Amino acid sequence: MQTSSAQTYAIGDIHGHLDLLRGVHDLVADDMARHGAGQVLHVGDLVDRGPDSRGVVEYLRQGIADGQDWIVLKSNHDRLFTMFMDDPLASDPGLRSDLSWLHPKLGGGVTLGSYGVPNASDRPIAKVHAEALAAVPQEHLDFLTSRPTWHRANGAIFVHAGVRPGIAIEDQAEDDLLWIRKGFLDHEGPFEALIVHGHTAIEAPMHYGNRVNIDSSAAYGGPLSVIVVEEGEVFHLTDKGRVPLRP
């Protein structure tokens, strides 16, 4: 998917923090008032770990339905959620075999809690799954499963986790776009375009020359970050305005 908005705003991994998401959308609205309209992109991880995954999914789903120029990319945590709903015993190929979505490290139980399913990580999985099927709106699952895995705009490619070097974006495997670290984070050469991604938590947005990581650890008590990409320039959007983000 490709667009040519005047500028593209990219928001990092949200992880159930609706309050933080509304806050960065306010920053974007203020910046648009000064610089003109642009497209707003979210690199995924709407759910897990934070307190209001349901609220985040509904806020973004309803906003797009109401005509907001928002892009939401598919991510590993969002796919883990929908896979569990399809089959609670299914195993995502990107997840360690000793973990499941309901393991506290992943945070699926907190997500189901936001839908009214209590203590999901501590009860028999069949009962939890039955309650989840009754509690989670089908339109939320449809929204998450139908998200694109990548987006190209303003000379950059936006994905959740990263890309496999040497493979065109159209030919990338979904598992890599949602999960990759090794082979991507340590790649020092150029990609086909600047890659903007989340998935790997750091303290603040960082420009590495060939990629920009915007996962600033909202899942672990950090802030939710938003950058602006415009005509090859990258800016970290703060409450004081645009701050250039350079390699």
pLDDT(1) > 60: no
What's the pLDDT at 232? 87
In whole angstroms, give the CA distance from residue 73 to residue 64.
13
Mean pLDDT of all residues belonging to the chain: 96
pLDDT in tens, 140-177: 999 999 999 999 999 999 999 999 999 999 999 999 99
Question: What is the model's pLDDT at position 220?
Answer: 97
Q: Give CA–CA dist 10/227, Å, rounded.
A: 5
Position 145 scores a pLDDT of 98
| pLDDT per position as a tens digit, 4-43 | 568 999 999 999 999 999 999 999 999 999 999 999 999 9
The predicted model gives 195-222 an average pLDDT of 98
Contacts of 102 (CB under 8 A, 6+ apart): 84, 108, 109, 112, 120, 121, 125, 128
- Where does the pLDDT of residue 231 fall: very low under 50, low under 70, confident under 90, or very high at 90 and above? confident
The whole-angstrom separation of Cα 193 and Cα 157 is 6
pLDDT surpassing 80 at residue 233: yes
Query: Model confidence at 202, in pLDDT bands (50, 70, 90)?
Result: very high
Question: Residue 3 pLDDT more than 80?
Answer: no
In this predicted structure, what is the pLDDT of residue 5?
A: 64
Residue 2 has pLDDT above 90, yes or no: no
Strands 156-159 and 150-153: antiparallel
Over range 207-212, report the average pLDDT: 98
CA within 13 Å, CB half, 107: 20
Q: What separation in angstroms does the CA of 36 have from each of 5, 231, 239?
A: 10, 14, 18
User: Taking the chain, what is the end-to-end CA distance rounded to the nearest angstrom?
Assistant: 26
CA distance 116 to 54: 10
